[in-house]
Structure 1
Amino acid sequence: MKITSVQAIYPDYKHVPPSWRTHFWQIVVRIEADNGFVGYGYGGGGQASVQVVNLHFRELLLGKSLETIQDIEQLWDNLYFESLPYGRKGIAVMALSGVDLALWDLLAKSENVPVYQLIGPRSKGDVKCYATGPDVDWYSEQGFKAHKFPHRWHGESDYEIAVQRANTARETMGPDSLIMIDTYMSWNYEVTVEMARILNDYDIYWFEDVLTPDELEGQSRLREHVKPTLISGGEHEFTQYGFEQIASNNALDLWQPDITWCGGITAGLRILGIALDYNIPVVPHRGGEVWGLHLIVSSHCDSLAEVLPGVKGQAKDILWIGEPQVIDGHISPTEEPGFGVTPNPKLMRV
């Protein structure tokens, strides 16, 4: 089949976070082939990313053949190369992620199989989920047995607040549950070491994004000082090239690439290859969404998926129709062709 149409759209979101830093700015990519099949992908980067797809990547994709995974890999390599002058990371790769996922969706639909079947034999059943957010009581009511709470640094009082939140999470979720903390790049070396000391009794599984992605040496030094808690990160890193730098600097105990940002499934598989060489566990960021979930069930990713339920009673946009639901703290992709989802027409605008 040959690609006949490429379009990126920024959805008409109705409910967005008040903070620019916590808005994911996700885009939808639609790719159609001459056989009538349509693939959908999900990327980051907002309106800027839409322009990258529609004004640059589109002309490089139209008329290209798509028959095999190798074709997707070649298209990925070409788009990455052609965007090198302004890309390599950030918005260009977020745009590439959306294109890559749409190509995987398109190829899988043309073969009438789920994406995970293209990736490899499914090796996992239901995947355990952890709920990210502040409403731990509600998450427990829904059956979650793992929880990650946000805790950005604002000042000295945050030490005591961290203990209170960790204690609440542990008591609510139970002694055998996984508890993690997302700092969103707001701690520093000294804060992280002290947090590890005062939270030692709460058995925190990982501290996430304690430093910025550029502080590889600091993250590497921290690993020894916070054990047994892991230093995790990677959602703001891009492609196999970025994760090779993380690996060579021994910077993280656990990797969390975001499949809709890091370069899609194609980059995700290459990142997993590096992780396997270095014996690093991988838990994709937002892995409960279909884009990461299909990779989790068909690869050596850990059987753990992040979902963001929000806050009880708070309205949310439903962008994708057909997404699998969390049942008793676990999730599984459907057997529908492709990723099994379509965008909500009420949120699409051209």
Structure 2
Amino acid sequence: MKITEVSAVYPKWKRLPVGVWQSHFWQIVVRVKADNGVVGYGYGGGGEPACLVVNQHFRELVVGNEIETADDIRVLWDRVYALSLPYGRKGLPVMALSGLDLALWDLLGKARGRPVYDLLGGLCKPKVRGYATGGKLEQYRDMGYTAVKFPPGKSASEADVRYTVDMARQARSIFGDDALIMTDPYMAWDFDTTKLMADALREFNLYWFEDVTTPDYLEEQAALREIIHPINLAGGEHEFTRFGFTQIARAGALDIWQPDVAWCGGITETLRILDIAREHNVPVVPHRGGEIWGLHIIAATDCEDLAETHPERWEDSADELWLDEPQAVDGYLTPLDRPGFGVVLNEAML
């Protein structure tokens, strides 16, 4: 089938507080159409600027290409990436390319009448264990979750350390000894704060610390791995392509990799990142893995049996961009068996 149309749009998201980057650079929807009438949709990052990248550059590179196999998508990915290098090997251009790649996988699945996980080799995991991100611990337990990631204090102040210890104590008490407990300061800690928090939280047996610093500090993260052990150091949501994860591997910077499928380069590049992870014996838990894009790749590969969810999202149906997206049942998610990624786009939000 030949690609005849490529376009991207920035959905009408709910109003967010002034200064929040998601107000301007959040997720875009990429649409590709083939000459057989099949339409594929993908999800990328970068907001309106990423839409310009897709609509003014990627479109020229993609329209007219034949897509019949996954290899065709990989070849096209490499060409688009190479021709966008002058304006960025990471960040916004790769986020835009992620949306394009996912749309092509959705298109191929729909054209073949098969779910994306089938194109990846079939289900390894008929259902995937979810973990809840947020602070409503008792609610998550009552929903059936056995894994949770809570927000910690953001500094080394006595108040923030005390708050973080209290949250960890509550989580362990509510979920029990066998649950996975994680925390994510979202790059707010530094080297010393991470050490301090690790010491303060030892008794609660946390599974990982996520994104303790910005991804630039690879040597520091490698040193922290040894210091905070047996707590794992996780990260990678703000790293891009296999080339970025190769640098993480060489530095020995992380115990657990968390590529974001809708940011790091799509399905195509996540598969390549998984190849590198296998070579270095590093487990992979995709960021936002409970969303359909990550869920298909978790279910069909040797990614860890763990997918991030945000239960509060399901409380506000006004922001439901993808209709029929799987929700956790008793703490587990099941990928849809419909063609492509299996969801329907809510056109009212475009």
For Structure 1 versus Structure 2, the TM-score category normalised by the shorter chain is over 0.9
**Could you say which structure has the higher helix fraction?**
2
Paired with 2:137 and 2:316, the residues of 1 have a C-alpha distance of: 14
1-structure distance, mates of 2:16, 2:179: 30
Per-residue CA shift, 1:308-348, capped at 9, x if unaligned?
11279666610101211210000010110000012111101
1:27 corresponds in structure 2 to 28
What one-letter code is carried by the residue in structure 1 that aligns with 2:38? F
Structure 2 CA distance for aligned equivalents of residues 235 and 18 of structure 1: 23
2:27 aligned with 1:6, yes or no? no
Q: Which residue of 2 aligns with 1:144?
A: 145
**In 2, distance between residues paired with 1:17 and 1:329?**
31
1:63-108 alpha-carbon deviations (Å, 9 max, x no partner): 1100111110011001100100011100000000000000000011
* Equivalent of 2:194 in 192, 195, 208: 192
Q: How much does 1:133 deviate?
A: 1.1
Query: Partner of 1:324 in structure 2?
Result: 326
Do the aligned partners of 2:31 and 2:41 also contact (CA within 8 Å) in 1? yes
Q: Do 1:135 and 1:311's aligned partners in 2 also have CA atoms closer than 8 Å?
A: no
Secondary structure of 2:86's partner? coil
> Which residues in structure 2 correspond to 1:71-82 (within 5 Å)?
71-82=72-83
Q: Which residue of 1 is the match for residue 154 of structure 2?
A: 153
Q: For structure 2, which runs of at least 5 residues remain unmatched after alignment?
A: none
Deviation readout 1:33-89 (Å, 9 max, x if unpaired): 000100000000001111100010001111110011111001100110010001110
The corresponding residue for 2:128 is 127
The equivalent of 1:284 in structure 2 is 286
Q: Distance in 2 between matches of 1:298 and 1:6?
A: 27
Report the aligned-residue RMSD: 1.5
Q: How far apart are the structure 2 equivalents of 1:310 and 1:103?
A: 30
Separation in 2, partners of 1:346, 1:66: 29
Q: Matches of 1:140 and 1:15 in 2, distance apart?
A: 30
In the aligned structure 2, how far is the partner of 1:16 from the partner of 1:116? 34
For 1:286 and 1:53, locate their aligned partners in 2 and report how far apart those are by CA, in whole Å.
23
Asked if the contact 1:15–1:317 (Cα under 8 Å) also holds between the matched residues in 2, the reply is no
| TM-score when normalising by structure 2 | 0.96
Identity %: 54
Taking the aligned partners of 1:176 and 1:316, their CA distance within structure 2 comes to 36
TM-score, length-normalised on structure 1? 0.96
Counterpart code for 1:344: N
* Equivalent-residue separation in structure 1 for 2:306 and 2:93 (angstroms): 28
Which stretches in structure 1 are left out of the alignment for 5+ residues? none
Deviations 1:222-247 (A, max 9, x none): 00110110000000000000000000
Q: Relative to 1, partners in 2 of residues 1:218 and 1:21: Cα closer, same or farther, differing over 3 Å? A: farther
Corresponding residue number in structure 2 for 1:334: 336
Match for residue 223 of structure 2? 221
Query: 1:39 & 1:314 partners in 2: Cα distance?
Result: 26
